[in-house]
Amino acid sequence: MGSSLDVARWQFAITTVYHFLFVPVTIGMSAIVAWFHLRWVRTHRPEYLRLTKFFGKLFMINFALGLVTGIVQEFQFGMNWSDYSRFVGDIFGAPLAFEALLAFFLESTFLGVWIFGWGRIPERLHAASMWLVHLGTVLSGYFILAANSFMQNPVGYRFNPETGRAEMADFLAVLTNKVQLVTFPHVILSAYMVGGAVVMGVSLWLLRREAGTDDDRMYRHGVRVGAVVALVASLGVVVSGDLQGKIMTEVQPMKMAAAEALYDTTSHAPFSVLSVGPLDGSEATRIIAVPGLLSFLGTGDVNGTVEGINDLKGSERALAEKVVAQYGPQMAPLVLTDDYTPIVPVAYWTFRLMMGLGFLTMLLAALTLWATRGTRVPRARWWLLVAAVTPLLPVFANSFGWIFTEMGRQPWLVYGLMTTATGVSPSVSVAEVWVSMAVYTLLYAVLAVVEVKLFLTYVRRGAEPFVDPATPADAHEDAPLQFAY
Stretch that binds another protein, among 65-73, 199-207, 227-235, 374-382 (CB under 8 A): 65-73
CA angle 95, 99, 100 (to 5 degrees): 125
Q: Which is nearer to another protein, 284 or 484 (CB)?
A: 484
- Please identify which residue in 27, 49, 94, 191 interacts with another protein, judged by CB under 8 A: 94
Residues recorded for the chain: 485
Site for another protein in 459-478 (CB under 8 A): 461, 478
Pattern 291-330, another protein, x by CB under 8 A: ----------------------------------------
**168: β partners:** 157
Alpha carbons 156 and 225: distance in angstroms, whole number: 41
What's the rounded Cα separation, in Å, for the pair 451 and 443?
Answer: 12
Which residues in 125-157 are b (16+ Cβ under 10 Å) and which e? ebbbbbbbbbbbbbbbbbbbbbbbbbbbbbbbb
- Could you tell me which residues come within 8 angstroms of residue 349 by beta carbon, excluding any fewer than 6 positions away? none
Part in contact with another protein (CB under 8 A); list of ranges 47-55, 74-82, 310-318, 342-350: 74-82
Task: Find the shortest distance in angstroms from Cβ 268 to another protein.
Answer: 47
CB count within 10 Å of CB 331 equals: 19
Given the complex with another protein, which of 115 and 239 has the nearer CB atom? 115
* Contact (Cβ atoms closer than 8 angstroms) between residue 401 and residue 354: yes
Residues 392-451 that bind another protein (CB under 8 A): 425-428, 432, 435-436, 439, 443, 447, 450
The single-letter DSSP state of residue 268 is S
Number of other residues whose CB lies within 10 A of the CB of residue 473: 7
110 touches another protein by CB under 8 A:
yes
Closer residue to another protein (CB): 82 or 285 = 82
**For residue 399, which of 409, 407, 389, 410 has the smallest C-alpha distance?**
407
123 scored as a contact of another protein (CB under 8 A): no
The reply to whether 243 sits near another protein by the rule CB under 8 A is: no
CB of 153 to another protein, least distance (A): 19
Among 55, 104, 348, 404, indicate the residue that binds another protein (CB under 8 A): 104
Q: Near another protein by CB under 8 A, which window of 24-32, 106-114, 194-202, 367-375?
A: 106-114
Q: How many residues bind another protein (CB under 8 A)?
A: 79
On whether the CB atoms of residues 265 and 305 are closer than 8 A, the answer is: yes
Quick check: helix, strand or coil at residue 274?
A: strand
CB of 130 to another protein, least distance (A): 14
Beta-carbon contacts of 9 under 8 Å, excluding residues fewer than 6 positions away, are: 420
- Please report, as residue ranges, which positions from 158 to 177 form the binding site for another protein (by CB under 8 A): 160, 163, 165, 167-169, 171
Residue of 10, 396, 434, 458 interacting with another protein (CB under 8 A): 458
Closest CA to 271 of 356, 186, 180, 366: 356
User: Pick from 271, 230, 169, 172: which is nearest to 390 by CA?
Assistant: 230
**Interacting stretch for another protein, rule CB under 8 A, among 246-254, 349-357, 359-367, 456-464?**
456-464
Amino acid at the residue 382: W
Nearest distance from residue 88's CB to another protein, in Å? 8
CB of 80 to another protein, least distance (A): 8
Q: Given candidates 12, 48, 54, 92, which one binds another protein under the rule CB under 8 A?
A: 92
What is the closest distance, in whole angstroms, from the C-beta atom of residue 85 to another protein in the complex?
4
